[in-house]
Amino acid sequence: MHYRFLAACRRERTDVTPVWFMRQAGRYMPEYRAVRERYGFLQMVKTPELAAEVTLQPVRAFAVDAAIVFADILPLLEGAGLRLTYEHGEGPVIHNPLRAPGDIAALHDADPRETVAYTLDAIRLVKRDLSGKVPLIGFSGAPFTLAAYAIEGGSSRDYRRTKVLMYTEPEAWRALMDRLTGLVSAYLIAQIEAGADAVQIFDSWAGALAPGDYAEYVLPFVQRCIATVRAGFARDPAPPMIYFGVDLGGMSGLLRQTGADVIGLDWRITLDEGWAQLGPGVAVQGNLDPHVLLAPWPEVRRRAADILDRAAGRAGHIFNLGHGIVPETPVDTVRRLAEFVHEYSVERTI
């Protein structure tokens, strides 16, 4: 079956620009809030039927060109022995963070097919219920972002503990990144085996690093992860791989070296400039500031049109936000935006 989203990932021509939204299943939707009122967040993630239902909500509501499985990046760490909870007003909390080389050495080996089997089951349910309507995206946190969460114990403003361990304990850092790279690779392969048509790697915190540190301490592990997943599938074409990080506009040359089929851009760089820096041979995803969706519709329309104009109809553009939809976003704005992207781009694709 021909899907315009997958075609764009492969830099093929499409009839219109495909569109999906990071965090398109979330609190801004009343259908999501109705489920969330009855179940805790982790309960939703870990119950395949609930995760599948939430995944499908935006596909039913909007003209999006892909679904993305409802999951979270951090439960993958539980299998390695980290204790995770979501605290009201604080977000994720890891209660036994990694603060010394001995903590890293004590991590458990984990098989994602067992430790996060609920997400794989959710993927199977979603694929069944989609009935070929749109493709399904799986995802994982990147090795660095998972490492940073594990070291900081939760969110951080400056990632001080992560950087200190990275600089002062290089062998322990490599050991942690080796372990997480293997874990992420196995998880993504398992998601594709379960039915995911493409996968995205979220490196949400990599923008905290200087380019030189990214090149030395992060890039080799991203490259290995992508190469490992790609080598795990002999089918042609292989499932596309998307790499997205926040505030990485100054690292375009390095991002090209990841080997990803698609690079996601946030709003801190214009789409045409970011694409030019990445060069040919890579698709681009992005890059509307999600807070623009809180503005009146004429402003949303103007900003979206500007991005599409900068893409200039070139094959390989996937319209998305530069980060996830924020909870206050009006549902009607999301609906109108998805429709507008298709309508506006229909005569611009080449």
pLDDT in tens, 229-252: 999 876 677 899 999 999 998 898
**Whole-angstrom distance, CA of residue 259 vs CA of residue 187:** 18
The span from the CA of 228 to the CA of 218, in Å, is 16
| Predicted local distance difference test score (pLDDT) of residue 249 | 84
User: What pLDDT is stored for residue 307 in this prediction?
Assistant: 98
Q: What is the CATH number of the domain that holds 121?
A: 3.20.20.210
- Per the CB < 8 A criterion, the answer to whether 75 and 116 are in contact is yes
Annotated catalytic residues are 23, 27, 36, 72, 149
Whether 279 maps to a domain, the answer reads no
Backbone torsion region of residue 152, taken as left when φ is above 0, otherwise alpha when ψ lies between -120 and 50, otherwise beta: alpha
pLDDT at 91: 85
Interval 137-158 mean pLDDT: 95
The answer, yes or no, to whether residue 348 has pLDDT greater than 80, is no
Does residue 222 lie within any of the structural domains? yes
Q: Classify 318 as helix, strand or coil.
A: strand
Range(s) of the domain holding residue 141: 38-61+67-196+198-239
Taking only the tens place, the pLDDT of each residue in 31-43 is: 999 999 999 999 9
Q: How many CA atoms does the CB half-sphere of 84 hold within 13 Å?
A: 24
Q: Give the residue-averaged pLDDT of 290-303.
A: 98
pLDDT at 275: 96
In a domain, 141, yes or no: yes
Whole-number Å distance between alpha carbons of 277 and 213: 20
Residue 305 lies in a domain: no
Do strands 262-264 and 241-245 pair parallel, antiparallel, or not at all (unpaired)? parallel
pLDDT of residue 211: 95
CA quadruple 286, 288, 289, 293: dihedral sign: negative
Residue 264 within any structural domain of the chain? no
Residue-level pLDDT at 5? 98
Does the residue 158 lie in any domain? yes
Give the chain's end-to-end CA distance (angstroms, integer): 21
pLDDT at 234: 65
Residue 229 maps to a domain: yes
Does residue 328 have a pLDDT over 90? yes
Q: What's the Cα-to-Cα distance from 98 to each of 42, 152, 153, 182, rounded to whole Å?
A: 22, 8, 8, 18
**What whole-number percentage of the chain has pLDDT above 70?**
98
Q: For the chain, what is the mean pLDDT?
A: 95
- The residues that bridge with 67 in the sheet, in sequence order, are 136
No. of H helices and E strands in the chain? 17, 9
Q: Is residue 132 assigned to a domain?
A: yes
pTM for this entry: 0.96
Q: Could you give the number of structural domains in the chain?
A: 1
Q: In this predicted structure, which of 83-87, 168-172, 286-290 has the lowest mean pLDDT? A: 83-87
At 140, the pLDDT band (50, 70, 90 cuts) reads very high
Q: Is the pLDDT of residue 347 over 80?
A: no
Burial of 113 by CB count in 10 Å (0-12 exposed, 13-18 middle, 19+ buried)? Answer: middle
* pLDDT value at 165 more than 80: yes
